[in-house]
Structure 1
Amino acid sequence: MDLSDAYANAAYIPGAADFPPRWSAAAEAFRAQLADEGRYRSLAYGAGAREALDLFLPKGEAKGLVVFVHGGYWLRFDRSVWSHFAAGPLAAGWAVAMPSYDLCPDVRISEITRQVAAAVSKAAEEVAGPIHLTGHSAGGHLVARMLAPGLLPDAVAARIAGVVPISPLADLRPLMQTDMNAGLKLEAAEAEAESPIFQPAPQVPVTVWVGGDERPVFIDQARWLGEAWNCAVVIDAGLHHFDVIDGLAEADSPLCRAVTGG
């Protein structure tokens, strides 16, 4: 199997190039609206330029915190592309944090994991109550990593009420055989250490979500995590790697309800 092709998403999605600019435009408009309403803040969680998060607040007291971590194979994007996907949890009464993080090859994936843990911890200081984590693709990997023992401070880990990795990379070892590893720089030890399938099964509820029209390896990755952790796997029929997250924008969608525990 050509693993570079197997893990290629855009080449197999009609109109793939239109998605990022459409996301960015919708996200910018969403932030402007929330800023006008006084419900949007940006916060640093570290010293680096990309170590920052956007925090969106619901109308009224928040039920708790949802953290969304973006994807892009740890190589692309930042928090500014995804803001509008906070709409669903916000409408359901949850605050939403969306962090940026440094990208490969400037840092290793293990450093990105550390940064996301710092971002979750910072957001947890700002919003009381239960914490739900979700992320897409590489972001699905990163939120799954947050369940590794000792990664989050005990007080923050104790507040994690549920995790929904969407189209996650759960076993990083195959990525060593892809062209993108020129940027990821994964070696065997890090690939294993950073693979959620090798973590102990967590004690909090986890639902793995993946589109039914995704590349077969992404459905495999979702199933591998479900098997390793003995957790639910939802295959969302008819959705590909780019539109599988659309439900996050709607409070009453099955995906958003899974994310918020509703």
Structure 2
Amino acid sequence: MVAFAVTDWDDAYENGRNIPGGSDYPTAWEGPSASFRANANSHLDISYGEGERCCYDLFLPAGAPRGLFVFVHGGYWMALNKSYWSHLAAGPVARGWAVAIPSYDLCPDVTIAEITAQIGAAITHAAGKISGPVVLSGHSAGGHLVTAMMCEDTPLEQSVRHRLAHVLSISGLHDLRPLTFMWRKEALKLDMDTAIANSPALKRPLNGVRLTTWVGGGERQEFLRQSELLSNIWTGLGCLTQNVVAPNRHHFNVIDALADPDGPMLHTVLGEEG
């Protein structure tokens, strides 16, 4: 085994500059998302709280929904909004699920803890419209936010906790302590105490909720480690977990699999029939 230490934490968590064609994102998602919204059975900009960013889009299948599928976007809690990701709803909708994609306020205007509470409010609001099981997915910072929903201190209302079936964290960040060594720490208002308080990997998971961590094989080593870390720790706390490394995928295209109704990602999270 070769021992090494991270000497540049900013580079360790930098995706765009370390991916060929990385500068094409997030622009590359705008067209597919706009096209999907134009043809989808949808209700857009549903308010779940105060502020113009506290809203979500809801995409509906042809018949009665099997349940609620949620996708929470990334952007280091500092950037982007729900409009970039609409096309990812295609897979779950084709499988008969209603899909909610929320926006949320961004750092430094709010803290990560406040964003976590907002996502809890968005999921609770959407779950009030759609019956059945609730499945959560999120990418990068969104992976952090959805795994926070299945911690014992989840902001989800009790009735929604009992419906929570499976959480999918795609390239998620689950231990925030390394981020206190990065330039982003000021905007994220992170010090060691707030990082510990907001790290799902340092908390206990809810009973009876499955966890899947999913990461691209071509991602930065820290994202590979963060995914394996949470599955490893929570297995030891009685959670049914699995960690999937998708070959030939990087941080930005690993999420493409969500749009494929017959692909391995949705079969893993929703099952063969879901």
Paired amino acid for 1:4: D
Is residue 93 of structure 2 the alignment partner of residue 87 of structure 1? no
How far apart, in 2, do the equivalents of 1:261 and 1:53 lie?
26
User: In the alignment, which of 96, 99, 102 is matched to residue 96 of structure 1?
Assistant: 99
Paired amino acid for 1:95: A
Paired amino acid for 1:186: L
Is residue 239 of structure 2 the alignment partner of residue 235 of structure 1? no
Is residue 22 of structure 2 the alignment partner of residue 16 of structure 1? yes
Alignment partner, residue 208 of structure 1? 213
Alignment partner, residue 108 of structure 1? 111
Is the partner of 2:210 in helix, strand or coil? coil
Is residue 177 of structure 2 the alignment partner of residue 173 of structure 1? yes
1:125 deviates by 0.5
Deviates more, 1:239-248 or 1:193-202: 193-202
Paired amino acid for 1:129: G
CA contact (8 A) 1:168 1:218 kept: yes
Cα distance, 1:90–1:116 mapped onto 2, change above 3 Å: same
How far apart, in 2, do the equivalents of 1:5 and 1:87 lie?
33
1:47 deviates by 1.0
Is residue 152 of structure 2 the alignment partner of residue 152 of structure 1? no
1:29 deviates by 1.2
CA contact (8 A) 2:185 2:191 kept: no
* TM, length-normalised to structure 2: 0.92
Paired amino acid for 2:15: N
Q: For 1:158-217, what per-residue CA distance to the aligned partner results, in whole angstroms no more than 9, with x for missing partners?
A: 000111111110100000101111211202221001101011133211111011100000
How far apart, in 2, do the equivalents of 1:257 and 1:189 lie?
38
After superposing on structure 2, the runs of 4+ consecutive aligned residues of structure 1 that deviate more than 4 Å are none
User: In the alignment, which of 3, 10, 13 is matched to residue 7 of structure 1?
Assistant: 13
Is the partner of 2:29 in helix, strand or coil? helix
Is residue 231 of structure 2 the alignment partner of residue 221 of structure 1? no
Alignment partner, residue 121 of structure 2? 118
Alignment partner, residue 51 of structure 1? 54
Deviates more, 1:40-49 or 1:169-178: 40-49
Paired amino acid for 1:106: D
CA contact (8 A) 1:133 1:259 kept: no
Structure 1 portions without partners, runs of 5+: none
Is residue 140 of structure 2 the alignment partner of residue 137 of structure 1? yes
Deviates more, 1:10-19 or 1:241-250: 10-19
Paired amino acid for 1:191: A
Paired amino acid for 1:165: S
How far apart, in 2, do the equivalents of 1:77 and 1:84 lie?
15
CA contact (8 A) 2:17 2:23 kept: no
User: In the alignment, which of 41, 44, 64 is matched to residue 44 of structure 2?
Assistant: 41
Structure 2 portions without partners, runs of 5+: 1-6, 236-240
Identity rate of aligned residues, in percent? 48
RMSD: 1.0
CA contact (8 A) 1:73 1:137 kept: yes
Paired amino acid for 1:225: L
How far apart, in 2, do the equivalents of 1:192 and 1:86 lie?
32
User: In the alignment, which of 189, 197, 203 is matched to residue 199 of structure 1?
Assistant: 203
Larger RCO (alpha carbons 8 Å, 6+ apart): 1
How far apart, in 1, do the equivalents of 2:10 and 2:92 lie?
35
